[in-house]
Each structure stands twice: as C-alpha cells, then as structure tokens.
C-alpha cells in the first residue's frame, strides 16, 4: 500500500515492507503529529519534504521515544540528539546529510539502510 494522505489529515503508511504502522512527519504540525502518533498508536515515523518535513534537527523525536521504525530521506540534519533517544529503534533508513551516528546506541537495531559516512561507527 502506498503512502497516502488519509481522512485523518495525516500521511500514513501500512505495508508489508513496513514492519510497523508509520506516520509522516509534517514539521508545521509537530504537536498534532505527536498527539496522533500516540492516539492511533503508531510505532514508526517517516519524513521527506513532499510530506512537509523540513526540520534540520531531530529534537522532536525525543517526544516519540518508543519509535521502532524511522525513515528519513532527501533531508539534511544538523543535529541528531533526538534520534539518539530512540532506544527501541529496530529499523532506520537515513541519508548521509547528517552528523555521524554511533549505531551502538541503539540496542534493538536490526536493520540499517544508510549511506555510510566517515563519522559513523558501531557497525562492522
């Protein structure tokens, strides 16, 4: 099932390739996104400019620290502090326009879709 704007007014993704229901991140609606994330509940998030994601930091992720799935593509992050708070993260897809990530900070991590950068560590 493709990512679609649902009657809820949010982009939602339910698909066999997606291990958990995921909610699109619209930077202009972060408070609403977080509230809906827990109401549904979701366990995944995705972000791209076409869905309204234009954050340069990941601080908002500390508000959804139970997320198991995260996919961010075609974006630039200057700060990954919020990302590092996702201790239940099992699946992450992220592009290389970001600071380095120590993947050992994610004890539940099983799948990484990543363009490796020199500052990355924790995966051999």
Region 107-116: mean pLDDT is: 91
> Within a domain: residue 69?
yes
The average confidence (pLDDT) of the chain is 92
Please check whether residue 76 lies inside any domain of the structure: yes
**Each residue of 45-96: pLDDT tens digit?**
999 999 999 999 999 999 999 999 999 999 999 999 999 999 999 999 999 9
Question: Does residue 110 have a pLDDT over 70?
Answer: yes
pLDDT given for residue 123 in this prediction: 85
Residues, the chain: 124
Number of structural domains found in the chain: 1
Q: Is residue 10 part of a domain?
A: no
Q: Which range marks the domain in which residue 91 is found?
A: 20-97+106-114
> For residue 16, what pLDDT band results from cuts at 50, 70 and 90?
low
CA-nearest of 23, 44, 57 to 90 is: 44
Is 52 among the domain residues?
yes
- Exposure string of 43-62, with b = 16+ CB inside 10 Å and e = fewer, is bbbbbbeebbbebeebebbe
């Amino acid at each position: 099932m493709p990512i679609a704007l649902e009657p809820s007014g949010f982009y939602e993704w339910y698909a066999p390739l997606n291990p958990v229901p995921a909610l699109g991140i619209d930077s202009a609606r972060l408070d609403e996104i977080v509230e809906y994330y827990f109401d549904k509940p979701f366990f995944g998030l995705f972000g791209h400019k076409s869905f309204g994601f234009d954050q340069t930091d990941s601080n908002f992720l500390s508000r959804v620290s139970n997320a198991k799935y995260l996919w961010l593509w075609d974006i630039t992050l200057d700060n990954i502090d919020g990302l590092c708070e996702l201790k239940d993260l099992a699946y992450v897809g992220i592009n290389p326009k970001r600071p380095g990530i120590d993947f050992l900070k994610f004890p539940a991590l099983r799948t990484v879709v990543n363009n490796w950068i020199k500052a990355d560590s924790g995966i051999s």
